[in-house]
Amino acid sequence: MLEMNVEQRLQEIAEKLSKRVDTLSCFACGTCVAACPISRATGAEIYHPRRFVRTTIEGQARRLLETPELWLCASCHACLEHCPQKVPVSELILELHNLACSLGLAPKDIAAEVENILASGWALAPSESVNKRREQLGLPPIPLKNRSSKDLVKIAKATELTKRLKQIKERQEVQAAEAGGDT
């Protein structure tokens, strides 16, 4: 059932995007690529925001859900801000992230960050060395102990985030077992 909902949602996204985008102008433009800091850092052959738009409009977005490049987006919205057509590339990528997560396809580090936030209140907890430096600067220490928020945990359960994290972990375990079996 979930697979069908994802396929249906991908089709809806493609239809909505194709109504909003002059594909000929979009595919020939490249302003989003030039504005994207990730494209500049990795090279356009690796990360190319315009490809997400094209692939989605062409009805091939399902394959994007399993590509590591999908997760490189910095969510800076430079692509949207610079696009002469105001194509919502960063919004599309966020939507694809959400769909990938619903299928348990998020990378290990993303899932680990969410788990850290739920457990400790930190995506990446500050280290002791940070507090030593803060002390040298006359600043108060950042509390390193558990800052878990009952409200965050409640929201995670209500939005099925904890269920998605479990799916991601299960998928990663299967992939690890398959990789171990190939060697």
What's the rounded Cα separation, in Å, for the pair 108 and 26?
A: 33
What are the structural domain ranges in the chain? 2-102, 108-182
What's the rounded Cα separation, in Å, for the pair 55 and 30?
A: 15
Q: 37-49, pLDDT tens digit by residue?
A: 999 999 878 898 9
Q: What is the pLDDT at residue 144?
A: 65
- Enumerate long-range contacts of 4-13, CB under 8 Å, 24 or more apart: 5/102, 6/62, 6/65, 6/99, 6/102, 6/103, 7/62, 9/99, 10/56, 10/59, 10/61, 10/62, 10/99, 11/59, 13/56, 13/61, 13/92, 13/95
Q: What is the pLDDT at residue 183?
A: 46
Q: What is the pLDDT at residue 7?
A: 87
What's the rounded Cα separation, in Å, for the pair 39 and 12?
A: 27
Question: Tokens in use for 118?
Answer: 């739920």
Q: What is the pLDDT at residue 182?
A: 54
Q: What is the pLDDT at residue 131?
A: 87
What's the rounded Cα separation, in Å, for the pair 73 and 82?
A: 16
Q: What is the pLDDT at residue 179?
A: 80
Q: 78-108, pLDDT tens digit by residue?
A: 999 999 999 999 999 999 998 998 888 888 8
Task: Write down the CATH number for the domain with range 2-102.
Answer: 1.10.1060
Q: What is the mean pLDDT of each run of 10 residues along the chain (183 residues)?
A: 75 91 87 94 89 92 91 94 93 92 83 81 81 93 71 83 83 81 53
Whether the Cβ atoms of residue 93 and residue 70 lie closer than 8 Å to each other: yes
